[in-house]
Structure 1
Amino acid sequence: MTTDQTQEDAAELDTLQAAYKTAVEAWIAAIRKEETLASVTHSVAEVDKWEEAHFEEDEARNKVLEAKEAYEDALREKFFGF
C-alpha cells in the first residue's frame, strides 16, 4: 500500500468518523428536545409537538446507526480486509 493510499484511507476514515460524531450530536439534541417537551404541562398541541419530537429522535437515531455501520465497515475493511 502506498503512502498516498494510506493517507486516502485515513482521510476516508476521518470523514466517516466525523459523520458519525455529527449524527450522534444531532441525536442527542433530538433526545433533549423530546425530553423538554415531555416536561411541560400537556395540551393537545403540546402532545402533538412531543410526539413529533419522538419521530425526529427516532429518525436521528437511525442516522446514527447508518453512520456507525459505514464507519465500522470501513474499519473492518482497513484492519481485516473484508
Structure 2
Amino acid sequence: MDTDTAQLDALQKAYKAVVEEWIAAIKHEEDLASVDHDVAKIDLWEQAHFAEDEIRTRVKEAKKAYEDALREQIFGF
C-alpha cells in the first residue's frame, strides 16, 4: 500500500470514528430531552447539547482534512 493510500485510509478512519462519536452524542442529547421536567435534568440536557456541538466541530475538521487529502491526491491541489 503506498503512502498516499495509507494516509487517506487513516483520515477516512478518523473521520468515521468521530462521526460515530457524534451520533452517540446526538442520541445522548435526545435521551436527556425525554426525561423528567426538572432543572437538574435540563442542565444535563444543556451540557449534552454543548458536548454534541463540540463533537460536531471535530467532525467538520476531520471531514475537511479527509476532503483536502482526497483533492490533493486526485487533482493535485
For Structure 1 versus Structure 2, the TM-score category normalised by the shorter chain is: over 0.9
The one-letter code matched in structure 2 to 1:77 is E
Residue 12 (structure 2) pairs with residue 17 (structure 1): yes
Paired residues for 1:42-61 under 5 Å? 42-61=37-56
Please, which runs of 5 or more residues in structure 1 have no aligned partner?
1-5
Could you tell me the percent identity over the aligned residues? 65
Tell me the residue number matched to 1:66.
61
Where structure 2 has 5 or more consecutive residues not aligned to the other structure, the ranges are none
CA distance in 2, matches of 1:36, 1:80: 43
Aligned residues between the structures: 77
Q: CA-to-partner distance for each residue in 1:16-60, whole Å, 9 max, x for gaps? A: 000000010000000000000000112111000000000000011
- The equivalent of 2:32 in structure 1 is 37
**What is the CA distance between 1:68 and its match in structure 2?**
0.1
Moved over 2 A (4+): none
Root-mean-square deviation (CA, aligned residues, Å) is 0.9
